[in-house]
């Protein structure tokens, strides 16, 4: 008999037993009888007319079973890949939404766009067949950058999308902002680029599909963060498969970071193909294939202006952004640089007027969609950078200017001018905690020590807030969401008192099997080891929206908490009958139902037994069994945030930036498992550091070739790039989630890029450097110093 | 990977015969470059001739004034060799900086030198030390061996069996790693002999090259300050998304100074 391990404890992760012993079950581990292998033939051109495909040589190649192309998709009248959000411009005009065929039709629009699917007996035969496909392309000029794409005369991706602009989106009171700028004592201006990122989860994407003629059912195993959403989008909108005839399974998934939270064309093609060839079809992406087909992240060009009064109080903030969508609209694409960006521009400050314009732009690049943080790191970067620029220009200390503008703890709930209302928070408390933890007082001495070695040392702050726990459905619906964003959980108590939870979120590294088990163990008094969490299978789990947007604990955990409460409520009714006491007198604590003021009690196991062997049971008023389900739709977003402080050392001789210290004090609300939270913060911070210092997806303008298409050219952060991090929580409780939780999956990624770049700029500020674009690579820093050092030397 | 025939000969003559008799055959040593290339279907040789059974190609020999390293000796063995660490510590350091632990335990000196990747480390050590490449047919001086981008003086069927390094008075290697690949963005090997100094640069251009102005300056005064003002011409240097030619040229001077520092420490 194991122990209760409840909220606040830090047990080792349940799931790690199988992962660390090589017993995980990933899509590529699955083998089905008679399974075939498929490979996608992808466009080698960024932009081209697809004039024709000659399948004959490929079909004659040994082992090749079928070759499918866009013409076959058209002949079967299949749908286009749907976009889950429909945004509008200020006049209410809907965004331009050109079709996204699962296999290209007429044109290809990015390197990696899918042109054909070749199915063969073995992967080798499929590859050999794919090489024999004769595809006639008429190559067109590509446009890959947003600035270039909106210029007159730029290559046009779609005939009916003038200037490649999908939507000209606005938020905020433009007139109020203009009025505030007119009376400003100082206006800080900043132009910046938010670099394009490639997610690189450890496990490449993969899928297997199978069709059973006997039951007319399809099964798709896929590397997905949200199998139920794939079932809906693919079944209802693309392939016309009734929901009850389609099972989607996302088994163990090796990391997602957003990359796996979209419905991909590969899933639809494979499922469709499985019925056509009457055999299971498997596809596993190579790493290189992932680079040109996994949805990319970020990629903004922004002009920002901050108006301040003579005391450094923010009066208004104006942001104009061009956001790259890539060649087509992905599942959440247009939502990310708009609804998840503009509403974050208030940050932790009392800025009274904010206006944001985002032009969402098509280019000949991989579609861009959510990547850990999704819109919020971009917003935080703009805001936290310009606050530093303003402080420097006005001669105000960077911490002081933040204090002068911060929302005080007492002012919560706080309504921002950009839609959202923060329910709780204490940014000043996080800042104070971080200043101490980072030993900011000792920075001067450390800087002097660096200077003696010929190095420049800098300190950077980021005080930030994010909106997560996606999302309140009604609110999201007003913003253009085409689906709900609630979550569901079923708590099944077995006759022996053990518990199986079916939950609609998906665990792909976050530790849900541990965290959710702790919640159940805590609430029901059941041993931690007697709780299993089931997820990722539409046949086993009632419904769910999956895992993204720091929502699993906030929304899924809330549904789980509610379902558990229903179990307790029913248990009390059963106990009331067995103990012959009024239901109101039954008290439940530590796994025991007792009659208040007496020593009469029934254990949780006894109640479960009675529910399934209802001999002495109130059958007239109560159903047997002990299984409860809850759906939870949040009333608001949650608003985690905090203060991150980065300390860097720059080697001016080579331009190398070394992150030497990193401190984060974050408000994530109630902490269920502090070890897992710490891990999430570490991982998130590293991803943000990756964006700030290393990662950059580079395309060649004109040809549309991805120049950073492998780990040889795309630099992921590594352990030796990083210092030991100091991570702590300073929590205020969320006022509207059942457990006071706020979510922690993305905070690290959202807070860190600005902290790191602010530190780099600080290190170089004595040379007149006012901004450094990401990533701050050695080459870029050296070049900046070449340009910066001359006038300074003359001083 | 496309299908290919696989041979594991017992001796150098057999290996050479296979290479010549089978059209489009390839030699495989550690396979650290070739195997990924095969997996990506970028190369599809008809046959692989694997040298891994040739035990005679593995190991190090102390020749008094030279060290001879068998072509099939993995980088990790060179890095950990007491002999190399004592007599040519710069070369042991170079070997310890190649790739990652997996690459160092599989990759071989012969494979690296024969491949002559423009950003590989060993070509800088071999050229910097003025080593001799011993093949199945002859001995080739380093200065005559490296002919540019993946090109060497090796003839068809000619197999590197060992590399003989003269022991320098001092030697050091400094490498600025390309952030993603960790190949040398610029790597500089500096070696001081009784009759002068040699400086060899990898990563900066299409192939490893020497820097005569630095060599003469360091021959006069073996100190970083002697070369601090020597600028490298950017003509012919590589520009890519990680570094333009002028930055690489700058790094040559910086890394050369650091290599001298390493040699002196």
Which residue, A732, A718, A597, is CA-closest to A669? A732
Cis, peptide link before residue A471, omega less than 30° from 0: yes
- What does the buried/exposed string (b/e) look like for A388-419 if buried means 16 or more CB atoms within 10 Å of the residue's CB? bbbbbeeebebbebbebbbbeeeebebebbbb
Chain B nearest C-alpha distance from A722 (Å): 14
Residue A1: the pLDDT is: 53
Q: Evaluate whether A464 touches A407 at the Cβ level (below 8 Å).
A: no
CB B6 within 8 A of CB B50: yes
What would the mean pLDDT of A233-254 be, rounded to a whole number?
Answer: 98
Q: How much is the average pLDDT of A121-135?
A: 97
Residues contacting residue A620 through CB under 8 Å, at least 6 positions apart: none
Q: Is the peptide bond before B163 cis (omega within 30 degrees of 0)?
A: no
Do A712 and B181 lie within an 8 Å CB cutoff?
yes
Q: Is A518 among the domain residues?
A: yes
Tally A–B CB contacts below 8 A: 47
Contact A359, A165 (CB under 8 A): yes
Per-residue confidence (pLDDT) for residue A426, from 0 to 100: 98
Closest-CA distance, B31 to chain A, in angstroms, reads 17
Residue A794 confidence (pLDDT): 34
Same-domain pairing of A626 and A655: no
Burial per residue of A214-249, b for 16 or more beta-carbon CB atoms within 10 angstroms, e otherwise: eeebbbbbbbbbbbbbbbbbbbebbbebeeeebbbb
pLDDT in tens, A476-507: 999 999 999 999 999 999 999 999 999 999 99
Structure tokens at A217: 């059912």
Tens digit of each residue's pLDDT (9 = 90 or more) over A593-643: 999 999 999 999 999 999 999 999 999 999 999 999 999 999 999 999 999
Please indicate, yes or no, whether residues A414 and A500 belong to a single structural domain of this protein. no
Q: Chain A residues with CB inside 8 Å of B1's CB?
A: 124
pLDDT value, residue A787: 84
pLDDT at A180 over 90: yes
pLDDT at A792 over 90: no
Q: Return the closest-CA partner of residue A660 out of A760, A524, A536, A782.
A: A760
Chain A residues in contact with B183 by the CB 8 A cut-off are: 712
**Looking at beta carbons, which residues of chain A come within 8 Å of B187?**
none
Final residue belonging to a domain, choices A614, A632, A650: A632
pLDDT band of A791, cuts 50, 70, 90: very low
Helices (H), A231-314: 265-277, 287-291
Which whole-number Å values give the CA distances from A422 to A35, A184, A413, A418, in the listed order?
52, 27, 5, 11
CATH number at residue A99: 3.90.1170.50
Residue A175 lies in a domain: no
Q: Tell me the β-bridge partners of B210.
A: B200
Q: How many CB atoms lie within 10 A of CB A23?
A: 10
pLDDT confidence of residue A729:
95
Given an 8 Å threshold on Cβ–Cβ distance, is B241 in contact with A708? yes
Helix (H) or strand (E) holding B84, with range, is: helix B82-87
What phi, psi does A187 have (nearest 5°)?
-125, 120
Which domains, and CATH codes, for chain B? 1-53 (3.30.43.10), 170-264 (3.30.390.50)
Co-location of A332 and A461 in the same domain:
yes
pLDDT over 90, % of chain A: 99
In the prediction, which pLDDT does B250 show? Answer: 98
CB B125 within 8 A of CB B91: yes
B55: closest CA of chain A, how far (Å): 32
The pLDDT value recorded for residue A788 is 79
Mean per-residue pLDDT over chain A, rounded: 97
Average of per-residue pLDDT values in chain B: 96
Both A729 and A717 in one domain: the answer is: yes
Residue A166, in any domain of the structure: no
**pLDDT for res B40:** 87
- Which residues of A are less than 8 Å from B247 in CB distance? 655, 778-779, 782-783
Residue A678 falls within a domain, yes or no? Answer: yes
Q: How far apart are CA B115 and CA B99, in angstroms?
A: 15
pLDDT in tens, A674-714: 999 999 999 999 999 999 999 999 999 999 999 999 999 99
Same domain for A135 and A278, yes or no, is yes
Q: How many C-beta atoms lie closer than 10 Å to residue A268's C-beta? A: 29
Tens digits of per-residue pLDDT, A14-72? 999 999 999 999 999 999 999 999 999 999 999 999 999 999 999 999 999 999 999 99
Pairing assessment for the beta strands B196-202 and B209-210 based on DSSP bridges: antiparallel
The Cα–Cα gap between A637 and A640 comes to 10
Instruction: For residue A667, give its domain range.
Output: 296-470+636-794
Structure tokens at A724: 């030991």
User: Closest partner residue to A777 among B1, B2, B179, by Cβ?
Assistant: B179
What residues contact A84, with CB distance under 8 A and at least 6 apart? A229, A233, A331, A332, A335, A481, A482, A483
B228 in A contact zone (CB under 8 Å): no
The answer to whether residue A172 sits within a structural domain is: no
- CA–CA separation, B143 and B133 (whole Å): 10
Handedness of CA A111, A112, A117, A119 (dihedral sign): positive
Residue A357 in contact with residue A169, Cβ under 8 Å? yes
- Tens of pLDDT, residues A353-410: 999 999 999 999 999 999 999 999 999 999 999 999 999 999 999 999 999 999 999 9
Q: Mark whether A446 and A320 lie in a shared domain.
A: yes
Establish if B7 touches chain A: CB-CB under 8 angstroms.
no
Coil, strand, or helix at residue A253? Answer: coil
Q: In this complex, do A654 and B254 lie within 8 Å of one another by their Cβ atoms?
A: yes
* Alpha carbon of A127: minimum distance to chain B alpha carbons (Å): 9
What's the CA gap between A685 and A672, in Å, rounded?
20
B103 touches chain A (CB under 8 A): no
User: Domain total for chain A?
Assistant: 3
Residue A2 confidence (pLDDT): 81
Asked if residues A560 and A489 have their Cβ atoms less than 8 Å apart, the reply is: yes
Low-confidence ranges of chain B (pLDDT < 70): none
Task: Please tell me whether residues A302 and A284 are part of one structural domain.
Answer: no
pLDDT at A790 over 60: no
The verdict on a CB contact (< 8 Å) between A778 and B40 is: no
**Among B residues 184-213, those touching chain A with beta carbons less than 8 Å apart:** none
Q: What is the mean pLDDT of residues A250-258?
A: 97
CB contact under 8 A, A716 and B180: yes
Burial of residue B107 (number of CB atoms within 10 Å: 0-12, 13-18, 19+): buried
The secondary structure of residue A2, as a DSSP letter, is: -
Q: Are residues A505 and A563 in the same domain?
A: yes
pLDDT reading at A793 higher than 70: no
Which one, of A225, A210, A211, A245, lies nearest residue A295 by Cα?
A225
Domain assignment present for A76: yes
Name the least confident of A2-6, A202-206, A281-285, A683-687.
A2-6
Q: Is A582 exposed, middle or buried (0-12, 13-18, 19+ CB in 10 A)?
A: exposed
DSSP state of A552: I
Q: Which of A585, A600, A632 is the last residue of a domain?
A: A632
Calculate what percentage of chain A has a pLDDT beyond 70.
Answer: 99
Report the candidate in A461, A521, A424, A352 with the shortest Cα–Cα distance to residue A4: A521
Q: Does A676 share its domain with A533?
A: no
Q: What is the pLDDT of residue A603?
A: 98
3-class secondary-structure state, position A381: helix
CB atoms within 10 A of CB A42: 19
Establish if A190 belongs to a structural domain. Answer: no
- Same structural domain, A285 and A327: no
| Distance (Å, whole) CA B263 – CA B265 | 6
Choose one of A269, A291, A313: the last residue of a domain.
A291
Q: Which of A502, A535, A529 lies closest to A517 in space, CA to CA?
A: A529
CATH code (residue A325): 3.30.365.10
Which tokens go with A310?
């003579």
Min CA distance, B244 vs chain A (Å)? 8
pLDDT tier for residue A293 given thresholds of 50, 70 and 90: very high
Distance of CA A2 to the CA centre of its chain: 35
Q: Is residue A466 part of a domain?
A: yes
**Cβ atoms of residues A488 and A504 within 8 Å:** yes
Of the candidates B2, B3, B244, which has its C-beta nearest A779's C-beta?
B244
* Residues A108, A250 within the same domain: yes
Tokens of B222: 């073996």
**B contact residues 117-176, partner A, Cβ 8 Å cutoff:** 176
The answer to whether the beta carbons of residues A279 and A209 sit under 8 Å apart is no
Token code pair at residue A339: 């609804």
Closest CA to A347 of A438, A436, A432, A462: A462
User: Which of A284, A455, A654, A655 to mutate to probe the B interface, most B CBs <10 Å?
Assistant: A654
Whether residue A307 contacts residue A187, with contact meaning beta carbons closer than 8 Å, is answered with: yes
Residues belonging to chain A with any Cβ–Cβ distance to chain B shorter than 8 Å: 124, 127-128, 131, 286, 288, 653-655, 694, 696, 698, 707-708, 711-716, 777-779, 782-783
B107-151, pLDDT tens digit by residue?
Answer: 999 999 999 999 999 999 999 999 999 999 999 999 999 999 999
Average pLDDT over residues A450-455: 97
Shared domain for A412 and A542, answered yes or no, is no
Instruction: Give the pLDDT of residue A795.
Output: 34
């Amino acid at each position: 008999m194991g122990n209760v391990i409840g909220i606040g404890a830090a047990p080792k992760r349940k799931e790690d037993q199988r992962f660390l012993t090589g017993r995980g079950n990933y899509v590529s581990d699955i083998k089905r009888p008679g399974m075939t292998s498929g490979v996608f033939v992808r466009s080698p051109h960024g932009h081209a007319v697809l004039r024709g495909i000659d399948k004959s040589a490929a079909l004659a190649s040994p082992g090749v079973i079928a070759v499918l192309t866009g013409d076959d998709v058209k002949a079967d009248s299949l749908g286009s890949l749907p976009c889950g959000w429909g945004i509008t411009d200020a006049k209410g005009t809907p965004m331009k939404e050109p079709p996204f065929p699962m296999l290209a039709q007429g044109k290809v629009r990015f390197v990696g766009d899918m042109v054909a699917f070749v199915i063969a007996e073995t992967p080798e035969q499929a590859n050999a067949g794919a090489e024999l496909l004769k595809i006639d392309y008429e190559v067109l000029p590509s446009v890959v950058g947003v600035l270039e794409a909106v210029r007159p005369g730029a290559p046009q991706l779609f005939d009916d999308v003038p200037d490649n602009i999908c939507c000209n989106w606005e938020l905020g009171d433009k007139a109020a902002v203009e009025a505030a700028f007119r009376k400003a004592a100082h206006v800080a201006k900043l132009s910046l680029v938010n670099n394009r990122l490639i997610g690189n989860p450890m496990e490449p994407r993969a899928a297997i599909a199978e069709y059973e003629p006997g039951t007319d059912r399809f099964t798709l195993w896929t590397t997905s963060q949200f199998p139920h959403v794939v079932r809906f989008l693919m079944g209802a909108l693309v392939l016309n498969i009734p929901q009850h005839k389609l099972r989607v399974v996302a088994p163990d998934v090796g990391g997602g970071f957003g990359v796996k939270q979209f419905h991909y064309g590969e899933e639809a093609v494979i499922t469709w193909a499985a019925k056509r060839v009457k055999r299971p079809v498997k596809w596993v992406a190579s790493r290189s294939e992932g680079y040109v087909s996994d949805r990319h992240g970020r990629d903004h060009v922004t002009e920002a202006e901050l108006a301040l009064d003579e005391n450094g109080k923010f009066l208004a903030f104006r942001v104009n952004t061009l956001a790259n969508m890539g060649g087509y609209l992905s599942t959440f694409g247009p939502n990310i640089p708009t609804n998840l960006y503009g509403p974050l521009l208030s940050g932790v400050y009392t800025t009274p007027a904010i206006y944001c314009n985002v032009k969402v732009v098509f280019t000949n690049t991989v579609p861009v969609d959510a990547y850990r943080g999704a819109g919020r790191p971009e917003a935080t970067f703009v805001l936290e950078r310009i606050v530093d620029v303003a402080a420097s220009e006005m001669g105000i200390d960077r911490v002081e200017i933040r204090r002068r503008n911060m929302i005080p703890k007492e002012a919560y709930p706080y309504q921002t001018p950009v839609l959202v209302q923060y329910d709780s928070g204490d940014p000043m408390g996080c800042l104070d905690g971080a200043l101490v933890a980072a030993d900011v007082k000792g920075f001067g001495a450390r800087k002097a020590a660096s200077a003696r070695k010929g190095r420049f040392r800098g300190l950077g702050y980021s005080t930030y807030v994010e909106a997560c726990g996606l999302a309140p459905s009604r609110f999201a619906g007003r913003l253009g969401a085409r689906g709900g964003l609630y979550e569901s959980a079923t708590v099944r108590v077995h006759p022996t008192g053990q518990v199986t939870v079916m939950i609609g979120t998906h665990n792909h590294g976050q530790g849900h099997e541990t965290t959710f088990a702790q919640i159940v163990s805590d609430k029901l008094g059941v041993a931690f080891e007697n709780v299993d969490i089931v997820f990722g299978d539409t046949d086993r789990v009632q419904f769910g929206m999956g895992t993204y947007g720091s929502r699993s604990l906030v929304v899924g955990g809330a549904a789980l908490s509610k379902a558990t409460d229903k179990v307790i409520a029913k248990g009390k009714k059963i106990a009331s009958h067995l103990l012959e006491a009024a239901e109101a007198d039954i008290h439940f604590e530590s796994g025991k139902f007792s009659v208040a003021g007496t020593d009469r009690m029934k254990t949780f196991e006894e109640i479960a037994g009675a529910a399934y062997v209802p001999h002495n049971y109130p059958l007239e008023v109560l159903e047997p069994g002990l299984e409860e389900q809850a759906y939870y739709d949040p009333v608001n977003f949650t608003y985690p945030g905090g203060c991150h402080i980065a300390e860097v050392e720059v080697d001016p001789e080579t331009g190398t930036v070394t992150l030497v210290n990193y401190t984060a004090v974050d408000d994530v609300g109630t902490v269920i498992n502090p070890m897992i939270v710490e891990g999430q913060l570490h991982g998130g911070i590293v991803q943000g550091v990756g964006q700030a210092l290393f990662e950059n997806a580079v395309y060649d303008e004109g040809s549309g070739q991805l120049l950073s298409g492998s780990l040889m050219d795309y630099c992921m952060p590594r352990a030796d790039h990083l210092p030991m991090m100091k991570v702590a929580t300073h929590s205020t409780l969320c006022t509207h989630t059942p457990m006071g939780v706020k979510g922690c999956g993305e905070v690290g990624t959202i807070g860190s890029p600005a902290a790191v770049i602010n530190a780099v700029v600080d290190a170089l500020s004595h040379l007149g450097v006012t901004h450094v674009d990401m990533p701050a690579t050695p080459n870029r820093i050296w070049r900046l110093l070449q340009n910066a050092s001359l006038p300074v030397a003359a001083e | 990977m496309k299908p290919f025939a696989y041979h594991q000969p017992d001796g150098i003559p057999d290996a050479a015969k296979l290479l010549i008799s089978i059209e489009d055959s390839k030699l495989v040593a550690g396979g650290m470059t070739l195997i990924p290339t095969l997996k990506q279907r970028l190369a599809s040789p008809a046959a692989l001739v694997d040298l891994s059974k040739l035990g005679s190609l593995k190991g190090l020999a102390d020749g008094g004034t030279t060290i001879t390293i068998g072509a099939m000796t993995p980088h990790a063995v060179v890095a950990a060799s007491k002999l190399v660490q004592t007599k040519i510590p710069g070369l042991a350091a170079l070997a310890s900086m190649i790739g990652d632990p997996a690459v160092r335990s599989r990759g071989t000196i012969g494979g690296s030198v024969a491949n002559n990747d423009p950003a590989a480390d060993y070509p800088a050590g071999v050229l910097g030390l003025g080593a001799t490449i011993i093949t199945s047919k002859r001995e080739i001086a380093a200065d005559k061996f490296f002919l540019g981008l993946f090109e060497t003086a090796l003839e068809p069927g000619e197999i590197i069996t060992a590399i003989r390094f003269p022991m320098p008075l001092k030697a050091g290697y400094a490498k600025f790693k390309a952030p993603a690949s960790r190949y040398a963005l610029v790597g500089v090997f500096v070696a001081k002999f009784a009759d002068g100094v040699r400086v060899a640069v990898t990563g900066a251009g299409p192939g490893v090259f020497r820097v005569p102005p630095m060599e003469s300056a360091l021959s006069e005064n073996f100190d970083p300050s002697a070369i601090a003002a020597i600028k490298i011409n950017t003509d012919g240097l590589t520009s890519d998304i990680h570094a333009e030619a002028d930055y690489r040229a700058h790094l040559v001077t910086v890394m050369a100074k650091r290599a001298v520092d390493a040699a002196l420490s």
